[in-house]
């Protein structure tokens, strides 16, 4: 026997015990997205490396050290997508989806980042993302946030998450603030922690959410982005808040909320939970008006967000809720395998939507009954020598009360359907 091959670090199998939660989550989310009129787009998992460098930003951690980048056989540099927005913008541009249109799109699938795995953070992880193009007013920002709130209600998570909100202003607002911030922090360089000193050149905004106490003290008197917002950004943010207030959405203004990707401007938001350890962000997004033109397309305002599905699944799984449907009927038949299998198919057509399991793999009558029990099936259907001679089968309720009964094969679909319907009611 050869050496065992294991999955790649940080790239996990999602096992049959877990897939019901995933499916449940995906179904619920799809329904909400659909109700808001958003349409699905399916995008490649691999794009040209250049796309991510130009959109996410050359000096971000994602691009500098987290991308899965490789050369294909032509010598082109390709990258496994670390996020979905860049590819979505690229596709919209390539197929003229933005031309005179204001598409509302969503997508779902795996993303890849070479980070150290940790609770709620993996190298292959899944996001559901939403992007709305061509609308520059705060109403669409609000709609998107309202939609996320509806999503939490649909998932029963509304008490688990809270909304944080900020405005990053226009590009030139950020530029002026950034210069003032760097100037101020440079004067206090010695009082900053090591990480923050390093960030001073590379990504000064990040210093704002440093956890170092001294650094936070220095920051108290630092220039605030809010004071640098121009008239248009200020009005945009004001109106967004007015809509959210009118809709009864609660939020907290977090002035140190900065997104890690360079393309964001104006509105940024995060839904966070304290139930997830260090990875509290469950959904994050914002406005990125400059991205389309930055990628060589026409100017197209845009807002979007992405949710981390592993994190949501984790929240949903904590209660250990049963979402796996049990078999309705389990067919036990030590002999007459062909008859058992064809009967199973007859029942599947006769009882659409029901789960019919036919025992396979041999074993005594008794051991097959044990399997029926273990499967959690509601009814066992026993098909033996004596029954078949009379063209009958024995139906035995496995859970709850009730006596077993002999039923003519011809009447099985009707009788089983009645039986199951009655059980459905008393549940």
Partner RNA sequence: GUGGCUGUAGCUCAGUCGGUAGAGCCCUGGAUUGUGGCUCCAGUGGUCGUGGGUUCGAGUCCCAUCAGCCACCCCA
Nearest-angstrom CA–CA distance, 372 and 332: 8
Residue 160 binding RNA, by CB under 7 A: no
Using CB under 7 A, which of the segments 20-28, 144-152, 231-239, 367-375 binds RNA? Answer: 367-375
Sign of CA dihedral 26, 32, 35, 37: negative
147 and 283 in contact (C-beta within 8 Å)? Answer: no
Q: How many residues bind RNA (CB under 7 A)?
A: 69
Sequence-separated (6 or more) residues with CB below 8 Å from residue 177: 169, 223, 224, 225, 227, 228
Tokens of 92: 């919209």
Using CB under 7 A, which of the segments 133-141, 176-184, 365-373, 411-419 binds RNA? Answer: 365-373
Among 339, 355, 371, 415, binds RNA (CB under 7 A): 371
CB atoms under 10 Å from CB of 406, counted, come to 12
- Residues 182-207 as b or e (16 or more Cβ within 10 Å = b): beebeeeeeebbeebbebbeebbbbb
Least distance (Å) from RNA to the CB of residue 393? 8
Residue 394 binding RNA, by CB under 7 A: yes
CA atoms within 13 A on the CB side of 385: 1
Nearest-angstrom CA–CA distance, 257 and 285: 11
Least distance (Å) from RNA to the CB of residue 228? 21
Tokens of 80: 């496994």
Residue 291 binding RNA, by CB under 7 A: no
Binding mask 166-195 for RNA (x = CB under 7 A): -----------------------------x
Among 27, 31, 65, 230, binds RNA (CB under 7 A): 65
Residue 385 binding RNA, by CB under 7 A: yes
Site for RNA in 261-280 (CB under 7 A): 261, 270, 277-280
Contact residues toward RNA (CB under 7 A) are 1, 6, 8-10, 12, 60-62, 65-66, 83, 113, 115-122, 125, 127, 195, 199, 203, 206, 210-211, 259-261, 270, 277-284, 306-308, 310-311, 363-367, 369-374, 380, 382, 384-387, 394, 396-399, 404
């Amino acid at each position: 026997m050869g050496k065992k091959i294991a999955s790649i670090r940080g790239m996990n199998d999602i096992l049959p015990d877990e897939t019901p939660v995933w499916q449940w989550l995906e179904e619920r989310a799809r329904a909400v997205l659909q109700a808001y009129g958003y349409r699905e787009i399916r995008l490649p998992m691999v794009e040209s490396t250049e796309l991510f460098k130009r959109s996410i930003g050359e000096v971000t951690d994602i691009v500098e050290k987290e991308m899965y980048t490789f050369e294909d056989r032509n010598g082109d540099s390709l990258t496994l997508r670390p996020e979905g927005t860049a590819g979505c913008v690229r596709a919209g541009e390539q197929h003229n989806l933005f031309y005179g249109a204001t598409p509302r799109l969503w997508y779902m699938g795996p993303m890849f980042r070479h980070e150290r795995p940790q609770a709620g953070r993996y190298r292959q992880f899944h996001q559901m993302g939403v992007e709305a193009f061509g609308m520059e007013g705060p109403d669409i920002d609000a709609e998107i946030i309202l939609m996320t709130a509806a999503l939490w209600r649909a998932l029963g998570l509304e008490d688990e998450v809270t909304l944080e909100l900020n405005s990053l202003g226009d590009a030139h607002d950020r530029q002026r603030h950034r210069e003032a911030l760097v100037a101020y922090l440079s004067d206090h360089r010695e009082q900053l922690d090591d990480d923050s000193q390093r960030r001073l050149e590379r990504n000064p905004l990040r210093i704002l959410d440093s956890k170092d106490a001294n650094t936070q003290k220095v920051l108290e008197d630092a220039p605030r982005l809010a004071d640098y917002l121009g008239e248009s950004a200020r009005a945009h943010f004001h109106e967004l808040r007015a809509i959210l207030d009118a809709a009864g959405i609660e939020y907290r203004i977090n002035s140190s909320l900065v997104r890690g990707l360079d393309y964001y401007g104006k509105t940024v938001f995060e839904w966070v939970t304290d139930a997830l350890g260090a990875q509290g962000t469950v959904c994050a997004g914002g406005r990125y008006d400059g991205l389309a033109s930055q990628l060589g397309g026409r100017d197209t305002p845009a807002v979007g967000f992405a949710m981390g599905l592993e994190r949501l699944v984790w929240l949903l799984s904590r209660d250990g809720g049963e979402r796996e449907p049990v078999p309705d009927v389990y067919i036990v038949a030590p002999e007459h395998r062909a008859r058992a299998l064809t009967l199973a198919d007859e029942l599947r057509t006769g009882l659409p939507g029901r789960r019919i399991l036919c025992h396979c793999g041999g074993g005594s009558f008794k051991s097959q009954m044990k399997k029926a029990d273990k499967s959690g099936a509601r009814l066992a259907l026993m098909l033996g020598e004596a029954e078949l001679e009379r063209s009958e089968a024995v139906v035995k309720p496995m859970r709850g009360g009730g006596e077993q009964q002999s039923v003519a094969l011809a009447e099985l679909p009707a009788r089983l359907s009645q039986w199951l319907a009655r059980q459905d009611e008393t549940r």
